């Protein structure tokens, strides 16, 4: 029997569009993260959970025509969209494989960099993907993550709808082994469970003023998870509709302050003595 896919954000077509926009919104921050990694022309890179776009274009540029970028993605629609993006942009050094990031079937100890952005915060047992990611890195190679932590995700003035939505999301995560506060744990996971040394950490936080593309992210996430909350009898359709409307109204008010998740960019090197570090 196939295990239920508990990935928190689901696979609605609207979510794929949001992820395409997100690739553009986060590109500059991701470039800064990759500036910290000694990638060269010819480097080999894997992005796990690349979604419909991810960082594939940035990585493609960094490794050049003699390099290789492999995007690993579990969702079929995201794979098709990523392949279209790669074709449309003529990224000849990028390949997308439709596989589970927990067992990619790629060569172990082989890649100069393995990277993930906003994957671990949405999946049960994140250690499984992390362990596969580290296994793919060659000795002396690098791992780089961009993860979220719900610590700072807030609005002011406070709103009952915002609080209730976060409570529901948090309950969904608790029931399914997802850690919405994983961001703060990533440096420790890298050191203690993955044996990565010299772990670097860069925190990132934003406010989303009116007009900012990410201002309504709480509403978008609520829409992503709505059907599963209802299916699990965590909320009725009527309660969800009222909550969603109140949330939208609150975030639409110009005076409402919306603060982003706390993001952690975390990077480090796998022990080993191979040259080229
Ligand atoms: C929030 S999206 C982020 C997409 C992309 N990394 C970005 O930052 O734009 C997380 C992605 O991870 C994928 N994903 C989740 N679990 C996965 C797994 N076990 N194997 C491969 N991909 C997975 C999802 O399908 C989704 O496309």
Span from the CA of 274 to the centroid of ligand 1 (angstroms):
30
pLDDT given for residue 170 in this prediction? 96
pLDDT given for residue 157 in this prediction? 98
Per DSSP, the residues of 242-257 read HHHHHHHHHHHSTT-E
| Residues 6 or more apart whose Cβ sits within 8 Å of residue 90 | none
pLDDT given for residue 277 in this prediction? 46
What is the C-alpha to C-alpha distance for residues 94 and 98, in angstroms, rounded to an integer?
13
pLDDT given for residue 5 in this prediction? 80
The 10 Å CB-count burial string (b at 16+, else e) for 103-136 is ebebeeeebbbbbbbbbbbbbbebeebbebbbbb
CATH number of 13-150+178-207+260-269: 3.40.50.150
Residue from 7, 23, 56 to probe ligand 1 pocket by mutation (most atoms less than 8 Å from CB): 7
Cβ-contact 43, 113 below 8 angstroms: yes
Ligand 1 atom 10 nearest Cα:
119
What is the C-alpha to C-alpha distance for residues 277 and 272, in angstroms, rounded to an integer?
10
pLDDT along the chain (277 residues), means of 10: 72 95 97 97 98 98 98 98 98 98 98 98 95 97 98 98 97 95 97 90 98 97 95 96 97 98 98 65
Span from the CA of 38 to the centroid of ligand 1 (angstroms):
25
Ligand 1 atom 24 nearest Cα:
49
pLDDT given for residue 37 in this prediction? 97
Continuous segment of H or E residues that includes residue 34? helix 27-35
pLDDT given for residue 187 in this prediction? 97
Question: Is any ligand 1 atom within 6 A of the Cβ of residue 121?
Answer: no
Question: Is any ligand 1 atom within 6 A of the Cβ of residue 77?
Answer: no
What is the C-alpha to C-alpha distance for residues 17 and 169, in angstroms, rounded to an integer?
21
pLDDT given for residue 194 in this prediction? 78
pLDDT given for residue 2 in this prediction? 43
Residue ranges in 36-109 assigned as alpha helix (H): 56-63, 76-88
Closest CA to 117 of 6, 213, 218, 23: 23
């Amino acid at each position: 029997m196939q295990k239920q896919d508990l990935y928190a954000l689901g696979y609605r077509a609207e979510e794929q569009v949001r992820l395409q926009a997100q690739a553009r919104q986060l590109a500059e921050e991701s470039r800064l993260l990759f500036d910290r990694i000694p990638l060269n022309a010819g480097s080999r890179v894997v992005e796990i959970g690349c979604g419909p776009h991810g960082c594939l274009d940035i990585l493609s540029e960094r490794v050049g025509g003699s390099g290789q970028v492999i995007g690993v993605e579990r969702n079929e629609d995201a794979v098709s969209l990523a392949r279209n993006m790669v074709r449309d942009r003529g990224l000849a050094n990028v390949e997308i494989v439709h596989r589970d990031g927990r067992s990619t079937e790629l060569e172990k100890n082989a890649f100069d960099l393995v990277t993930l952005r906003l994957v671990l915060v949405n999946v049960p047992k994140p250690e499984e993907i992390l362990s596969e990611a580290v296994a793919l890195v060659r000795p002396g190679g690098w791992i780089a993550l961009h993860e979220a932590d719900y610590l700072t995700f807030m609005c002011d003035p406070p709103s009952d709808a915002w609080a209730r939505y976060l409570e529901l999301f948090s309950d969904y995560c608790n029931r399914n082994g997802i850690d919405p506060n994983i961001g703060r744990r990533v440096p420790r996971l890298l050191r203690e469970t993955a044996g990565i040394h010299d772990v670097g950490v860069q925190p990132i936080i934003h406010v989303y003023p009116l007009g900012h593309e990410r201002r309504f992210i709480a509403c978008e996430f609520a829409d992503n998870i709505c059907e599963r909350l209802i299916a699990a009898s965590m909320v009725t359709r009527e309660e969800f509709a009222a909550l969603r409307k109140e949330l939208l109204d609150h975030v639409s008010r110009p005076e409402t302050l919306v603060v982003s998740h706390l993001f952690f960019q975390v990077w480090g090197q796998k022990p080993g003595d191979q040259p080229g570090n």
